[in-house]
Amino acid sequence: MGFASLILVACSSTVVRETSSGASRPTASQPRPGVTVRVQRGDTLYGIASRNGINMSDLASWNGIPAPYTIYPGQTIKLYPGTGSTSSSTRPVTATPAPTRPATPKPAVPAPAPVNSGISWRWPADGHVIGRFVANDATKQGVDIAGSSGQSVRAAADGVVVYSGAGLVGYGELIIVKHSEAWLSAYGHNRKRLVNEGQNVKAGQQIAEMGSSGASREMLHFEIRYNGKPVDPQQYLPRR
């Protein structure tokens, strides 16, 4: 999908492409200890970094955001490393070395997703699981559920639709539902979307018709994300 030079905006109706060619990029990050920003619709990680004088790779590292640097509206982005100190890779070089220099702390490691989400999840579609989640694999960030064209796709839990469109490469007709400040679910490759952005949905409510948009066969690609990062849906969905 060309992720090497592509930054996806998870809740924008268009795909935003950010490449290194022709783009001005700060040579040294300028951390802002204690300052955070909340992601707005249409934001990219590159754009946030550029507006705040920070190298995008530093910003991604500080927030534990792996390639392809997907962010979501409502997500909180720190403009500083874990302790608010400047990393050695971005500290400006001084003409005269200081007598002593404190050790540079490593960026804080993001907390893992809790075992109990506090959300009553349910399966979003009937069918066999034909593709499973693989950690750190950008092509396997959820589960694939086989089915037939037009089959019901249902909300996995109560929430509000924060994205309904086809602007994310590789997902086809996609719906994203926000369940809390930390938890999201995504439903891709639909034939038809039945809900709009801003609409409240209930667990089990039909939100789409299964299809093959962006895929080679009829199926639902389903993801659960904690603070924007994919987790294994089968750890949270009920056994069946």
* pLDDT 10s digits, 63-91: 888 877 788 888 889 998 875 444 333 34
- How far apart, in whole angstroms, are the C-alpha atoms of residue 181 and residue 164? 19
Give the pLDDT score at 180.
94
User: Measured between alpha carbons, how far is 93 from 45 in angstroms, rounded to an integer?
Assistant: 26
Distance CA 210, CA 187 (A): 9
- 3 state DSSP class of 58: helix
Q: Do the domain assignments include residue 202?
A: yes
The burial of 238, by beta-carbon neighbours within 10 Å (0-12 exposed, 13-18 middle, 19 or more buried), is given as exposed
**Residue 75: predicted pLDDT:** 87
First to last CA, the chain: 33
127-170: pLDDT as tens digits: 999 999 999 888 899 999 999 999 999 999 999 999 999 988 88
Q: Residue 61 burial (CB < 10 Å; 0-12/13-18/19+)?
A: middle
**Tokens describing residue 105:** 């702390």
Q: Which residues pair with 37 in a beta bridge?
A: 77
Cα separation, 190 vs 183, whole angstroms = 21
Nearby residues of 173 by Cβ (< 8 Å), 6 or more positions away: 165, 166, 188, 189, 190, 191, 192, 193, 208, 211, 213, 214
Domain encompassing residue 166: 129-235
CA separation for the pair 74, 65 (Å, rounded): 15
pLDDT at residue 71, rounded to an integer: 83
Question: CATH number for the domain including 6?
Answer: 3.10.350.10
Confirm whether 105 is domain-assigned. Answer: no
pTM: 0.60
Q: Please work out, in degrees rounded to the nearest 5, the angle formed at the alpha carbon of residue 152 by the alpha carbons of 194 and 203.
A: 75
Side chain identity, residue 238:
P
pLDDT value at residue 167: 84
DSSP label of 4: G
4-32 mean pLDDT: 44
| Shared domain check, 209 and 144 | yes
Give residue 232's pLDDT: 96
* 77 and 135 together in one domain: no
pLDDT digits (tens, 9 = 90+) for 110-119: 677 888 889 9
How far apart CA 63 and CA 55 sit, in angstroms, is 13
The candidate with the shortest Cα–Cα distance to 18, out of 2, 7, 4, 32, is 7
Number of domains the chain contains? 2
Count of C-beta atoms within a 10 Å radius of residue 168? 23
Residue type, 66: P
80 in any annotated domain: yes
Same domain, 229 and 144: yes
Are 63 and 156 members of one domain? no
